[in-house]
Amino acid sequence: MRKMQIIKRHNFNNFVSVKYLLYLSILLTANYAFAQSTDLPLNSWLYPSIDRWDIKSEASFHSTVKPFSRKYLYELSPGFDFEATSGDVFDLNYLRKESPEYQDSIPERNPFLKFFFIHPPDFVSYYDEDIDLHFNPVVYFGLGSDSKLDEFTYVNTRGVELRGTIDDKISFYSLLTENQIRYPQYINQLIDSTLTIPYEGFWKRLSDGVGVDLLRARGYIDFNISRHISTQFGYGKHFIGNGRRSLILSDFGNNYPYLKLNTQFWRIQYTNIFAQLIGEVQGGSNFGLLGVGSFTKKYLTFHRLGMQVIPDLEIGLFESVVYGQPDSLGSNNLKLEYLNPIIFYRALEQQDGSADNVLIGLDFKYNLFNRLQLYGQLVIDELIVSEAFSDSGWWGNKSGTQIGAKYIDAFGINDLNLQVELNRVRPYTYSHESLFTSYSHYMQPLAHPLGANFSEKIFSFDYRPFPKWKVGSVFMLAEYGNDLGDVSYGRDITKSYNLRPDDYGIAQNQGDQRDLFMNQSTLTYHWMHNVLVDLSYIYRKESGVSNNIGQPSSILAVSFHWNFPIRTYQF
């Protein structure tokens, strides 16, 4: 989701360099403003159903760039005239409840204590001709056990979210939560080695020496430049793709300040994202990140052109560039040339001395028989054709591929969905001469959580025996190669590729080879609107070629979500 974070003093400077993007957005929208919408949060209960509607509809829609706006989905919903299952009907009603501001009449009921839940989806709401407001608490409580920890794991999240529209012209969203979390051991090991937490930013260690404390905040404002061009300025993140993973841009890491332009007309969708990233963080695993000073910045510029070639086939071409090189004062400068929304970044990078990290590639999705979707991605970081088709193992053949398929209402069983996905990323893909030009943010990958130098297979299924109940399971098998000593074998994308052992003879999954098997099975009950209860079990085993890494992990947990999307930690 695209959101602007309310943050502590140590992150306030994130917005300083991005002020130029804000000025640009204000300039562009000074004379044009039309009704816009807030977004449906990433990882919402509804996203798997949106995939189903895309596949089952007679004419598919642009579904690669996420999150989706509520208005966009609501306007599409009359076109979902397929033979709906009980699960589809339940989720279409859910969508309408999530989008009351776009309905001709808003259903009311007897409010609780004459003030709360005047309208079904909102704890507190207000509507008139000038403004509509939706205020909701955010709660996520979880408790679990990990075979590798003596203590219980837990999540304790409390917060609020506010969204609304002013004068039918500007929409806004804001979220703030306070969190105390004790993660399973495999996540703790990642925190100890990288000083970062998946999905999160600044954190500090709790007094027990195991748990962490953090604030989570994000937000954005959203408005239209014209009838076909929308603008969003905020602090949040995005997901580009149709699979469980994205090799282009994912939501695995921390939020970032950004300006997003979305142009949509005819069969075309053109997306621009201008973002400010964090190059490195400082701290210690025993106390957390340093809360003084300012972390060094770098920048991301991204654009993607998607086109529906035929009603059921969409092809997207993308290009992105990460750049930044701190000076003696630890600062960076925003390059104005990359703010041009319709220029080739590779050409600009070469004009500037080829100091930046440019990625190009494509994605596609193809819906067949209203039951099947094929999808995929190709990412090219660097490529010389003559080397790519030789057996030399040249290190610069840096690329990633994804291919996957979804099969809905499988074997004629309503609400049974199957998915298989294969991901493969060559060593040193996404990396560059320094972490300030690597395809990373807050020391975390911007794309796949495994970084690079891996091969991965994913199989998943989910089934809804009743509209409010869902059972699902995800199986992940991965092979990857870790670094040995000070030599980079290409998995850690924040390390310089100049630390490689050689220019030739570079093999897939080279280095300290590991095998990872992970299964997560979940039973979910949708108790009330945006209130979910989960029971999940994780089995995770990691092993090496020459040694046993450790005993498998068995993690059992139960959780309660209220206005907080479900998260998975599958890596």
**Local structure of 519: helix, strand or coil:** strand
Residue type, 81: D
DSSP letters for 140-169: EEEEEEETT-SSPEEEEEEEEEEEEEETTT
From residue 400, give the alpha-carbon distance in Å to each of 3, 452, 460, 539, 541: 28, 8, 21, 27, 25
| pLDDT score for 386 | 77
| pLDDT score for 27 | 43
Q: What is the pLDDT of residues 485-520, one digit of tens each?
A: 889 999 999 999 999 999 999 999 999 999 999 999
Residue type, 571: F
Q: What is the pLDDT of residues 131-156, one digit of tens each?
A: 989 999 999 999 999 999 999 999 99
Q: Which residues on neighbouring strands pair with residue 262, listed in sequence order? A: 230, 271
What's the predicted TM-score (pTM) here? 0.91
| pLDDT score for 354 | 67
- If DSSP states are collapsed to H, E and C, what string results for 370-397? CCEEEEEEEEEEECCHHHHCCCCCCCCC
Spans in the chain with pLDDT lower than 70? 1-35, 81, 105-114, 292-293, 326-332, 349-354, 545-549
| pLDDT score for 12 | 36
| pLDDT score for 350 | 67
**Local structure of 442: helix, strand or coil:** coil
Q: Please name the residues in contact with 391: beta carbons below 8 A apart, sequence gap of 6 or more.
A: none
Q: Please name the residues in contact with 399: beta carbons below 8 A apart, sequence gap of 6 or more.
A: 378, 379, 380, 381, 383, 425, 426, 429
From residue 538, give the alpha-carbon distance in Å to each of 371, 416, 511: 29, 21, 27
User: What burial class does residue 175 get, using C-beta atoms within 10 Å of its C-beta: 0-12 exposed, 13-18 middle, 19+ buried?
Assistant: buried
Region of 535 on the Ramachandran plot (φ > 0 left; ψ -120 to 50 alpha; else beta)? beta
| pLDDT score for 35 | 52
Residue type, 530: N
| pLDDT score for 337 | 82
Backbone angles phi, psi at 186, to 5 degrees: -65, -30
From residue 503, give the alpha-carbon distance in Å to each of 121, 438, 453, 497, 510: 58, 19, 15, 10, 13
